[in-house]
A = this chain, B = another copy of it.
């Protein structure tokens, strides 16, 4: 087995997809990364968390992260390439996710802004009224460097898993008795990625709404008020261990102007639709990070010698490469399935089709499985480098740091498992999944898997605790099974 496809995201995509659109763009992009981008990405990671300049010399609050100029060049290139605008022009997410894969091999952090910009544009286009769309949508879809960025801010200090209980941001109408769609939001967002974005979609609770998940609504919040002042404040940037090419901060909303998207009582659906987009992105980026870690390990193992030959030629290590490459194909197959399903359902609105529920299950499986694969692969990549793997001078330990963030963003493993359990219980999404897998699986293996799942789901209400406790083992098996079966129909 040759490992050459590990060296380039483009070659990997060519190999694992039956047909690969957008080849010219992908090729040009890869050439740019090799010529300029890799070194920029390394420098941005090395520089760590940038300073946040809160005031200019005149005392005006500006809240500007002090990135080196080339950061902006790296970032804007992806927008120009079409990660966001193509979704609308092509009425398909395929190009978007292909570009995310290709770019995140070189810099996973920068894919966060792209994803959350898409996650802003989509609900605006689906649920924003005509005035909002006219005012804000074109900015997000520009094809040049004047493009505006989006952001999606949900999580607050008490945690992101239980949004229903933990969102304490309150929205009240700007004018009490008016029906005008203008609100003032007050609250703190604790992990606000891409702070500084010109637009954000923000989860908040209209004054008086229920204090559970039904009381949430989604608002569009611009960076600048109508009167030209800052509309939200960045309290500080987080000192994250990785994804340093996206500034994540704490955002203070203080009577910040916002515009309701959709109806106030369907907010939670809109929020979940936004999360769908980033969850799938997270899965695909995880695969790309795993590939990158493997490519670094490969480059090292080819050159490093021990006992008279390159360490790649030692059977134990070669076996690990073989197995991990299979794992990479499987992880990709699962993530790509999520992409394709999302592409079918992203325009749906509640009430959703069965296809949507199948998508949700696959997205949970993919997010969970690929993040775990990425973290384990990056850890292994460090080990292949031996002691060089833990020295910051070498770009090796970075991929582990990046992978760990992917494992945690967009819901940790616990979240995926429990939400996956729910969509199986309530919507029987697993049955749709087994139908989907059937053509490529043997009847026996299908049946075995299915009975494990059904047994779990069949645990009665008196055994809820037991059901949750056992869920991890079953969910893991199901993810592995789905990934393996799906990869069978990918070309190799």
Residues of A near any B CB (own CB < 8 A): 36, 39-40, 42-44, 46-47, 51-55, 57-59, 66-70, 155, 157-162, 165-166, 190-191, 235-236, 238-242, 250, 299-300, 303-308, 314-320, 375, 379, 382-394, 397, 400-401, 404-405, 407-409, 412-414, 417-418, 464-472
Contact = CB atoms under 8 A, between A and B. Distances in A.
Contacts of A53: 393
Contacts of A315: 464-469
Main secondary structure, interface of A, reads helix
Contacts of A303: 57-58
Contacts of A300: 57
A40 B59 contact: no
A304 B162 CA distance: 11
Contacts of A382: 404, 407-408
Given A55-B157, A69-B43, A390 B240 contact: yes
A242 B466 CA distance: 38
A299 B159 CA distance: 16
A408 B391 contact: no
Contacts of A158: 59, 305
A95 to B, nearest CB: 28
Contacts of A51: 46, 239, 392-393
Given A43-B69, A57-B299, A387-B160, A472 B308 contact: no
B390 A405 contact: yes
Contacts of A36: 69
Given A40-B69, A46-B51, A319 B469 contact: yes
A385 to B, nearest CB: 8
Given A315-B466, A390-B241, A383 B46 contact: no
A191 to B, nearest CB: 5
A241 B386 CA distance: 13
A357 B77 CA distance: 57
A393 B157 CA distance: 15
19 contacts: A43-B68, A53-B393, A54-B235, A57-B299, A59-B157, A59-B158, A159-B305, A162-B305, A191-B387, A235-B235, A239-B392, A241-B392, A315-B466, A316-B418, A379-B404, A383-B414, A387-B409, A389-B404, A390-B408
Nearest to A300: B57
A291 to B, nearest CB: 18
A472 to B, nearest CB: 6
A387 B155 contact: yes
A259 to B, nearest CB: 27
Contacts of A414: 314, 316-317, 383
Nearest to A380: B413
A311 to B, nearest CB: 8
Given A316-B471, A391-B239, A307 B409 contact: no
A478 B220 CA distance: 57
A472 B319 contact: yes
